[in-house]
Structure 1
Amino acid sequence: LEAPLPSPVALKPGDLIEISRGLYEHWAVYVGNGDVIHLAPTSEVAGAGFSSIGSLDADTAVVRRDPLWIVVGADSYRVNNKYDRRYSPQPVREIIQAAKEAVGRVMPYSVFSKNCEHFVTSLRYGVAKSDQVSILGIVGLAAVATATVLIGRVLTRRHEEKDD
């Protein structure tokens, strides 16, 4: 196992962690001791970057507790409590308790209305918010997802032709 990632800033329990996956961000809440709790579509692989694009068509997700460095993988991350000026954060004790109680729960998932950012903002602020879902972003993600499927089909056909 690798050593935990150095923190770009001091992480505090209850902080929202934004993990850059290239075309989108994965979100988690820091719960202390190097761990985060996050909502992960069953098709998403921690630290997978572009290969986790399959989360576009997922309809369920599981709440997981993982070490931050495992979830981040090779991607970059930062603390982003972006709604602190608009909404009052819940008490840290309540954020952590609610997050821990949710671990293992399978939940409905929608990239538009019930994604990982909605999950963590609901924990921190009591309001489910996500700014990352935009028409342009979804069109871009859909194009990448379509290309991924088409490439997979081509590779499968080539493999089948070699076997014949």
Structure 2
Amino acid sequence: MAEGRRDPQPGDLIEIFRPLYQHWALYVGDGYVIHVTDEEASSIFLSSSSISATRAKVKMELLKDVVKNDNWRVNNKYDRSRTPRRVKEIIRDAEQWIGEEVSYDVLTNNCEHFVTELRYGEALCDQVEEAINGGVIAAALGIVASVAAFAARALLRR
């Protein structure tokens, strides 16, 4: 399995661990990746994660320049449940996007959606689902804690 490797092959998904999120790119060979990036972001912390971004640009850049000092790995995590497209098709389709401005939405059309669409023919993003589910769980725990505190106060008043 390719997950976790540090020797990318053309067509591999690259997961880059930014301080507050994971950025995704597609390895195309010779040290280069293609990825979606929010050029208006004021820092690397906001690039491709800006909640207010509605447009982004598809770029081909050296992996080392995209990663900078962050950790990264090959992560073809959906290979277990989906069949990757042929590498030549993945690369051909990815290269057609270079330089294009695309619509961007952090929840429905982000950098992970972009690269998974290229590799699998389907836009997927666990990162968003996990954040939404985590938020729902956190909200539910907050409600439970509030109810418990209210009940405890009610019992103490008796």
Give the TM-score normalised by the residue count of structure 2.
0.76
- Give unpaired runs (5+ residues) of structure 2: 136-158
Runs of 4+ in 1 over 4 A off after TM superposition: none
Q: In terms of Rg, which structure is larger? A: 2
Aligned to 1:12: 9
Deviation at 1:49, TM superposition (A): 4.0
Is 2:25–2:36's contact at 8 Å kept on the other side of the alignment? yes
Q: Cα RMSD over matched residues?
A: 1.7
Equivalent residues in 2 for 1:7-156, closer than 5 Å: 9-44=6-41, 48-52=43-47, 55-133=50-128, 134-135=131-132, 136=134
Check conservation: 2:117, 2:123, Cα contact below 8 A.
yes
Structure 2 counterpart SS, 1:96: helix
In 1, Cα distance between equivalents of 2:83 and 2:49: 34
1:40 aligned partner, one-letter code: T
CA distance change for structure 1 residues 102 and 43 in 2, over 3 Å: closer, same or farther?
A: same
Structure 1: stretches of 5+ with no match in the other structure: 1-7, 138-164
Do the aligned partners of 2:37 and 2:48 also contact (CA within 8 Å) in 1?
Answer: no
| Offset at residue 55 of structure 1 (A) | 1.6
Shift of 1:113: 0.3
Q: Output the CA distance in 1 between the equivalents of 2:83 and 2:47.
A: 32
Using a 3 Å threshold, how does the CA distance of structure 1 residues 51 and 117 change in structure 2: closer, same or farther?
closer
Q: Is the 8 A contact 1:42 1:62 kept in 2?
A: yes
Measure, in 1, the Cα distance between the counterparts of 2:101 and 2:48.
19
Match of 1:157 in 2: none
Secondary structure of 2:36's partner? strand
Q: 1:26 to 1:44 in 2, by over 3 A?
A: farther
Distance 2:113 2:88 in 1: 19
The percent identity for this pair of structures is 50
Mapped partners of 1:122, 1:53: distance in 2: 16
